Structure 1
Amino acid sequence: MGEEEFRRSFRDPFHNSLGLAVYSCGVQRCASRHSWGPAVRDHYLIHYIVSGRGEFRSCGKQHSLSVGDGFLVVPSQLVSYSADDRDPWTYCWVGFNGSDAKRLMDQTGLLDREPVFHYGGDDKLERLLTDICNSSGSSPSEEARMESGLLLFLAALMDRFGKPAQPQDNGYEYVKKAIKFIDYNYSGDITVSSIAASAGISRSHLYRLFMQHISMPPNEYLMRYRIGKAAGLLKAGGLTVGEAAYSTGFSDQLYFSRVFRRYMGVPPSRYTAGGHRNTGEEKTHE
């Protein structure tokens, strides 16, 4: 049987400085005994087998693989792989790297196990890899779509093989989740109850953890966060007081002005890059 192949490569020197970049992707129906290596790669490479059989060798071990199996090549690891002589495999793949690649691969769980895995059960991985290939190209929009497709592919691996993060005994992981929720949603109509729900704990538990770890209740943290963002907008110029208020989650401009003066020492209408903070801030409590 001859080979049928779709392959795209996107290597560029600036990719090394990106958070995540697709280096290559493709689909290949291999000829009998088609092989690669032994050799090393300078990026992550994941193959997923959609038909046939073959062998993957890594760290002195040989793995016989077939439909629904996948194998991972990590940077600088000596590997080789070859198609079966009677039933050669067809696989699809994606190669990638970047400053976020190691962190994301840690979250898939694949780095803590053998460099082979079995997904099976559905064609989700095949579809996700095919989507990356279908969106491939070198324009900014195509690169963005490839990265988006790669994140969806890695997320599917995380769902199947990754281990959910376990909150630390001291509860700080809950505080981090709450702070992240505030960072993403401070401009909307959020409450302490919705913040607690986002972290998966009760309102009272969230209050105790905030007092323990950052010495203020969550509603105080939210208020300070919003005022800090509003002050930044006013410093930058271009927005009215009302626009800065609405942009940071305040629906009442008069209330915003009172709170802003309490924290910043001057009303928002007078706040400039040279404005001074009030060192005797009044605090609110639940």
Structure 2
Amino acid sequence: MADVYKQSFKQNYTNNIELSIFNCGLERCAPGQTWGPGIRDHYLIHLVVSGKGTFEVGGHTFEVVPGDLFFARPSQLIRYTADEQQPWEYSWVGFNGACAHKLAAQLPFTDERPVHHTSDPEGMRTALTNIYSSRGLQPQDEAAMVGYLYLFISSLMKETSESKPHNTSSSSQYVLNAIKYIQFNYSHDISIDDVAKSVGVSRSHLYRVFMLNVGKSPIDYLTEYRINEACKLLRAGNLSIAEVAISVGFFDQFYFSRVFKRAKGVPPSKYLASQTDAPEASE
């Protein structure tokens, strides 16, 4: 049996709030070696290089073999275990950041299918090795690691795109494209007609597929997204309420205040005051 080894790197501080590496490494596990059950506070992707094991999440157990990637989201209860006879060897990367959720949504994993068999195992292994090989504590090291992480994620996105005809319905793809349009254009004076036109469907059809896939109407999603972005700006404390309203696509401050109060239970002025008056959190 091959020797057990572990090479890993953990980053305790980051200058990059958009996307950052939490940890990465390579490991050949001992027979039956287990992590969990436990919860991670970041996204985590493993690529199995050799051997096999099991990945448990959401009450289901998945057999994992060479060429498989298994994916864990923050706050999921997970456990993964090396096989007793053929314990696995894998590479991994853990990441988080402000844009991590959007990137993760475009990867070939779902809650029902957290394991994906890659069409390019050597390429994926090289990408993960490059992340680990670039490790270091200097800003240039972090920039290199994040750069390689983007390339790794890009490769996974391509596999997502290639598999869409098989595992993604046209209605859910319309919704994904509509959400992307909203997230990039919410600060402008856009209407639901604009959203529907951007994805090539009628307004009524967009409403139906949104209700089916998201459980809310397109206008409710757009409004909720704008209000959540407004809350972020209000918490930052750098803009007036009028400036916040314009920044999130409301060009009438009084209408913005009414919509905000319906969503949050208080007008933006009181929300802003509550953030200003909140005591500093102790270390």
- Which TM-score tier does this pair reach, normalised by the shorter chain? 0.5 to 0.7
**Taking structure 2 as the reference length, what is the TM-score of the superposition?**
0.56
CA distance in 2, matches of 1:126, 1:169: 30
- In the TM superposition, 1:158-237 aligns within 5 A as 158-162=157-161, 163=164
* CA distance 1:133–1:4, change in 2 (3 Å): same
Confirm or deny that 1:8 pairs with 2:9. yes
- In the TM superposition, 1:28-177 aligns within 5 A as 28-111=27-110, 113-162=112-161, 163=164
Contact in 2 for aligned 1:105/1:111 (Cα 8 Å): no
Contact in 2 for aligned 1:47/1:91 (Cα 8 Å): yes
Contact in 2 for aligned 1:46/1:71 (Cα 8 Å): yes
Contact in 1 for aligned 2:45/2:70 (Cα 8 Å): yes
- Spell out, residue by residue over 1:18-43, the C-alpha distance to the aligned partner (whole angstroms, 9 max, x if none): 00000100000111111100000000
Give the C-alpha shift of residue 111 in structure 1.
3.5
- Spell out, residue by residue over 1:62-114, the C-alpha distance to the aligned partner (whole angstroms, 9 max, x if none): 01111001100100000000100111000000000000000011122424651
* CA distance 1:96–1:65, change in 2 (3 Å): same
CA distance in 2, matches of 1:106, 1:76: 16
Contact in 2 for aligned 1:22/1:147 (Cα 8 Å): yes
CA distance in 2, matches of 1:36, 1:168: 34
CA distance in 1, matches of 2:177, 2:106: 21
Which residue number corresponds to residue 210 of structure 1?
none
* CA distance 1:105–1:26, change in 2 (3 Å): same
* CA distance 1:76–1:122, change in 2 (3 Å): closer
Q: What is the one-letter code of the residue matched to 2:6?
A: E
Identity %: 38
* CA distance 1:32–1:149, change in 2 (3 Å): same
Give the C-alpha shift of residue 161 in structure 1.
1.4
* CA distance 1:168–1:139, change in 2 (3 Å): closer
RMSD between aligned residues: 3.1
- Work out the number of aligned pairs and report it: 176
CA distance in 2, matches of 1:73, 1:11: 20
**Taking structure 1 as the reference length, what is the TM-score of the superposition?**
0.56
